[in-house]
Structure 1
Amino acid sequence: MRDIRTGPAARAHAAGRPSPQPTDADRRRLPLYAAGEIDVPFAVATSAEIIPRDTFWDEHAHPTHELLWNESGASSATIGRRIWTITPAAGLWIPAGTRHSGWTPAGTRHRAAQFGVRAAPAISEGPVAVEVTPLLRLLLDRLDAAGLGAGERTRTEAMVLDLLGPAQHELSLRIPESALLAPIFAAVRDDPADPTTLAGWAARLGVSSRTLTRAFRAETGAGFSRWLATARVQHAVALLARGEGIDDVAARVGYHSASAFGAAFRRITGMSPGRFRSQ
């Protein structure tokens, strides 16, 4: 994996989001399809690619349901006002016809599976995190195998569909929409270690802490502390996936000790930073 670069696109990825106008990355443009607009001749079709350069995927939509995950590395997808982190353990189910954009850093071993809307019922009305278990990975890999007979493929597809379901933990961040919270999002996006407290932001913005708390809950569904921890963990996942040490990552995302960082990481993802790196 490459060292983290400076520049707007690299800073955007490190903050857990795709850059809106990446100047030093490849761009991929795909069509916008409605759900089922193309009648595909398969139940499940998988693909694999090692991404050679940092890549931004312009907003697009598939006629099929899509499952995204990585064999290695961390990437992100933006759907509406929400940023999802995709890793080897945490995949993302995107229903057919859902508009989304994405950011995939160089060196990521990117995987995707398309599910025909008539053959595979949606597991959720909206995007949802999916736990990519070792068994699910093996079954999806089997669908890539050459010479798989029709009966074997049908049985394997049925097992894949049976295993799919929402994950217990998800790593997604809601982007606040109001002008009031925009400076906070911009500051945390550019520097997750920004030490400004809720009271400090309230004083800086000329409002009460209670007003900020209400705004965060209304726009993101979380309080300031939980939202900030999620933003920091998204950033941390990107750094860990690039081989950064746990102690260094903890400091870079604003934690004074590896133990405090580990506790926050565990609350958000359901696993320790060390376990994430091992995956």
Structure 2
Amino acid sequence: MREVRTLPVVAAGAVETPFGIHGYDEVVTRDTTWGEHSHAFHELLWNGRGASTAVVGARVWTITPSLGLWMPAGTLHSGSAVAGTWFRAGFFGFDRTPPSVPDVPVTVEITPLLRLLLERLGEPGLSDASRATTEAMVLDAIEPSPRELLVQAPTSAFLRPVAEALRADPGDRRTLADWAAELGVSARTVTRAFNAETGTSFARWVAAVRAQHAVALLALGWDVEAVAEEVGYGSASAFGAAFRRTTGLTPGTFRSS
């Protein structure tokens, strides 16, 4: 049974935070959904194990051990994780903003250095001077990543059947022409609608949806060949090439040990 958690909506900076950077982690024992909420403080979301999702409006990010997400204070968001996911978060006081990140959600590379610094902040007995130095290093180490696992979902009633079908079954192999025929319009009409609503082409949007689903399966320990078949590719090599084009990473990056 899925666990649904309800959290409050809090404006940015509305509550004084008695910390600079505070770490939190949890291994969820059931499939879990966090309803839409916001915090007075900033968050850096990442995982120690597994993949999870964060949703802001129509945008859906996949969060992994190597790709985190900076969530500015006051941003309405929801999320989900499957049982066994070890999710981690750094809560940042409202005045602790990394100089390199914008004031919108952005993917952050969880480098080995950043991970070590965040973990050091959780060490018991850390002196005030050491904490201040480490927090300054964390802020300096956080950089937006050029790689992200992000899907902008189309929201119109016209494209909803396509989006719902492909989100439910990323292995659906219907082409642009097939969908145009089902919708009773031209392929050019579908293309224009996807570009207008998602900022990308139908083919690239499908590849991004498949990549997100693939990451979740890889994090659960699925073989690359099985993942390739599940998300609609004829071979592991075709899947690997499409995955690299979409994410800039190899499937092995997310393969659970």
Q: Calculate the TM-score normalised by the size of structure 2.
A: 0.97
Q: Give me the whole-angstrom Cα distance separating, in 1, the residues matched to 2:16 and 2:106.
A: 24
Query: 2:163 maps to what in 1?
Result: 185
Unaligned runs of 5+ in 2: none
- The equivalent position to 1:161 in structure 2, one of 135, 139, 143, is 139
Query: 2:16 maps to what in 1?
Result: 39
Query: 1:96 maps to what in 2?
Result: 73
Query: 2:247 maps to what in 1?
Result: 269
Q: Give me the whole-angstrom Cα distance separating, in 1, the residues matched to 2:28 and 2:78.
A: 16
Give the AA of the match of 1:193. G
Q: CA deviation at 1:278?
A: 5.8
Q: CA deviation at 1:39?
A: 1.0
Q: Check conservation: 2:221, 2:256, Cα contact below 8 A.
A: no
Q: Give me the whole-angstrom Cα distance separating, in 2, the residues matched to 1:125 and 1:212.
A: 33
User: Deviation per CA, 1:128-162, whole angstroms, max 9, x where unpaired?
Assistant: 10000010000000000000000000000001000
Q: Say yes or no: does 1:68 pair with 2:45.
A: yes
Unaligned runs of 5+ in 1: 1-23
Aligned residues: 256
User: Structure with the greater relative contact order (CA < 8 A, sep ≥ 6): 1 or 2?
Assistant: 1
Q: Check conservation: 2:151, 2:209, Cα contact below 8 A.
A: yes
Q: Check conservation: 2:12, 2:74, Cα contact below 8 A.
A: yes
Q: CA deviation at 1:182?
A: 0.5
- The equivalent position to 1:110 in structure 2, one of 87, 95, 103, is 87
Query: 1:202 maps to what in 2?
Result: 180
Give the AA of the match of 1:104. A
- The equivalent position to 2:236 in structure 1, one of 244, 248, 258, is 258
Q: Secondary structure at the match of 1:144?
A: coil
Of 199-208 and 137-146, deviating more is: 199-208
Q: Check conservation: 2:219, 2:256, Cα contact below 8 A.
A: no
- The equivalent position to 1:143 in structure 2, one of 121, 125, 138, is 121
Query: 1:226 maps to what in 2?
Result: 204
User: Deviation per CA, 1:144-186, whole angstroms, max 9, x where unpaired?
Assistant: 0000000000000001000112101110101101111101001
Q: CA deviation at 1:32?
A: 0.6
Q: Give me the whole-angstrom Cα distance separating, in 2, the residues matched to 1:121 and 1:251.
A: 41
Q: Give me the whole-angstrom Cα distance separating, in 1, the residues matched to 2:151 and 2:235.
A: 23
Query: 1:119 maps to what in 2?
Result: 96
Give the AA of the match of 2:7. L
Give the AA of the match of 1:189. R
Q: CA RMSD in A?
A: 1.1
Q: CA deviation at 1:120?
A: 2.6
Q: Give me the whole-angstrom Cα distance separating, in 2, the residues matched to 1:152 and 1:258.
A: 47
Query: 2:216 maps to what in 1?
Result: 238
Give the AA of the match of 1:150. D
Q: CA deviation at 1:275?
A: 2.7
Give the AA of the match of 2:156. S
Q: Check conservation: 1:43, 1:120, Cα contact below 8 A.
A: no
Q: Calculate the TM-score normalised by the size of structure 1.
A: 0.90
